[in-house]
Amino acid sequence: MELVIVESPTKAKTIQKFLGKKYKILSSFGHVRDLPKSELGVDVEKDFEPKYIIPTKARKNVTLLKKEAAKADEVILATDEDREGEAISWHLEEALKLKNPKRIVFHEITEDAIKEALENPRKIDKRLVDAQQARRILDRIVGYKLSPFLWKKISRGLSAGRVQSIAVRLVVEKEREIEKFKPVEYWSVEAILNKSGIDFSAFLSKVNGKSIDKLEIKNKEEANKILNELKGSEYKVESVEKKETKRNPLSPFTTSTLQQTSANKLGYSSKYTMSLAQKLYEEGHITYHRTDSLNLSQLSLNSAQKFIEESFGKNYYNFRKFKAKSGAQEAHEAIRPTFANKTPESLKGELDGPKYKLYTLIWQRFIACQMSPALFDSTSVDILANQYTFSANGQVLKFDGFLKVYPMKFSENDMPKLEEKELLSLVKIDPLQHFTEPPARYNEASLIKALEKHGIGRPSTYAPTLSTVQERNYISKNEQKRFIPSEMGIMVNDMLVENFPQIVDIDFTAKMEKELDEIAEGKDTWKKTIKDFYEPFSKNLQEKYDDVKKENTDIKTDKVCPKCSKPMVEKLGRFGRFYACTGFPDCKHTESLVKDGPGNQIIKLDIICPKCKQGNMVAKKTKRGKIFYGCDKYPACDMATWDKPINEFCPTCNSILVENKKGQVKCSNKECNHKREQSNADSNSKANKE
């Protein structure tokens, strides 16, 4: 009997379907060894030797795997193909005391891929293990050495992370850009013209043949001056340019682009997207989902060609090869469906809603990337009126191409047939006021894009990074699902930027990622990389303990402690501000602080509590950063719900209605069964608001 060990039970179950009774497939349930949580776990005096332990939750399974490995004729390690998977295989080898286990990798869980992998086993790649180990130890040193410093200088319970701190810095700096932003007024001039009963818009673009800058018309007076000079003018067609334009499909998904597109199109967080993708991969529906490669296998390209030509016709097929950005690591292929002919419709009964939606996105993007471009008939017209030139553009879809499979937004603007030198009728002319917009806050998609652009992190790190900084309450999402920094997030960021610039320096962190890549390629050693980082970091840390004063975040208030009558102050804690007695530690009385606005611990809603009818509903955060809703009269009223109360009343029992995370509206009264799906009007209103 041959024992095959993978990470997850789902993956084990899928592989078992392809292999006979000769093989026994078991799961490690992720990592079987790790650094201890209670201590640093890295001996900085002895070449940074890590102290690995078997976590309590893994011990029972490790004992089982040891017994099965002892009985097996051969042990095959089939963990994921990236650095993390390689490290899990190495930890299994060490924990189970295996001698020369076989290591196999595959990019997709299909019968052909599994059998080909079994025919081509290799040894564990210690270079990949070293790269993963270097990242783990580096992050452990930063986290376990910097966190106590933050406890002493700001507040207990805080923590710092190498990549996470960069994400927080990006959000904080964006917020400061917005705070400094001053809107600039500018104007444009729009003419509505008519030809043969058809109206169309044209905008002022040139004066005396010279292009007008966007901000050139600064105020209403300047715009009105132009209008006065245009009074009584003839509007004559100066030039007409007609051409065919193309719109090419996007490349297949990488981890980063999948997370960005899933956030934009489906509204899924990066963490949820990766959870769904993990299941789709383990069930054999898609290829490996942690990748920054754009490569596609010849077999998949051939199957895409066959599907496109048979389904849509040969004119819809267009072979393409995509080039990944320099430094793409750890993967053989982009994310794609394992079989091109497995359409989303064919799997509708097998996949639940969220998995079905994500699979549809992946399948559409892969098929579309091998399809013909969409073709448009485009028209550009310049219209002369005195010394002023107005420009108008029209576009009509001529051939849908890849848009047949992968819908993307485009505008069609049909124009009347125009000839040079012909005169047009002026319907009306309007000056339009505008103001420059502040930079947009990051959402999940744009923050991941920024991290990738700067070379921060790798495919496997984006989702946990965003999840961690939200759980730590350093950043949170506002109603438009955009990130804003909390008061604590700003304070921690400023402390790190001022005193540990290397840790939060974007270029330094990107350089460190390249060094990890060099370890994986055998060009550097992990111990040298850690030593080069640790020695200056440790020296600076010791100096800062002596030099940096503790931040005083307390704010005086008029409140008096109800227990000991001493003054109370506003204190800043990990989860926001709260009231605390100045008599601490003799008196440990604290109270919640109700404050409107994002990023605070509690947000007051203008909704009466449906249970006691006395208090107001408030949004609160758990210690893990999850939002729930309760009554501000707690503990007198214990009303609490995960669903968000809305300002509507149940038509059946007149209780407050609540909206769950799926957008379904139902009654807050548990004895009432009234519920409804969010209407299109509700959805559109919400979309417009965002």
For the annotated catalytic residues, the residue numbers are 288
Q: How many helices (H) and strands (E) does the chain have?
A: 17, 27
**How many Å apart are CA 157 and CA 165, to the nearest integer?**
16
Rounded Cα distance, 346 and 18, in Å: 21
Task: Indicate the helix (H) or strand (E) that contains 187.
Answer: strand 185-195
Cis, bond preceding 635 (omega within 30 deg of 0): yes
Which 8-state DSSP code applies to residue 12?
H
Using alpha carbons, list the distances in angstroms from residue 161 to 142, 153, 164, 165.
6, 17, 5, 6
d(CA 246, CA 244) in angstroms, rounded, equals: 7
| Closest alpha carbon to 618 in 626, 606, 600, 636 | 606
Which residues, 6 or more positions from 99, have their beta carbon under 8 angstroms from its beta carbon? none
Dihedral (CA of 194, 196, 200, 205) sign: negative
CA distance 509 to 160: 14
**What type of residue sits at position 690?**
E
Neighbouring C-beta atoms of residue 162, cutoff 10 Å: 24
582 neighbors 566 (Cβ within 8 angstroms): yes
Instruction: Give CA–CA dist 229/206, Å, rounded.
Output: 14
Tokens of 183: 């809107």
Cα 642 from Cα 628, distance rounded (Å): 5
What whole-number distance in Å separates Cα of residue 639 and Cα of residue 633? Answer: 9
Looking only at the bridges linking them, the beta strands covering 374-385 and 49-50 are unpaired
What is the Cβ-side half-sphere exposure of residue 209, based on CA atoms within 13 angstroms? 0
Quick one: residue 473, left, alpha or beta (phi over 0 = left, psi -120 to 50 = alpha)?
left
What's the longest Cα–Cα distance across the chain? 97
Q: What angle do CA 368, 372, 375 make, to 5 degrees?
A: 115
For residue 505, how far is the Cα from the chain centroid? 21
Q: Which tokens belong to 465?
A: 């990074």
Which 8-state DSSP code applies to residue 265? Answer: I
Exposed/middle/buried for residue 182 (C-beta within 10 Å: 0-12, 13-18, 19+): exposed
Angle between helices 487-499 and 162-180 (to 10 degrees): 110
Distance CA 111, CA 343 (A): 19
Rg (CA), the chain: 31
- Strand-strand pairing, 102-103 and 74-77: parallel
DSSP classification of residue 251? P
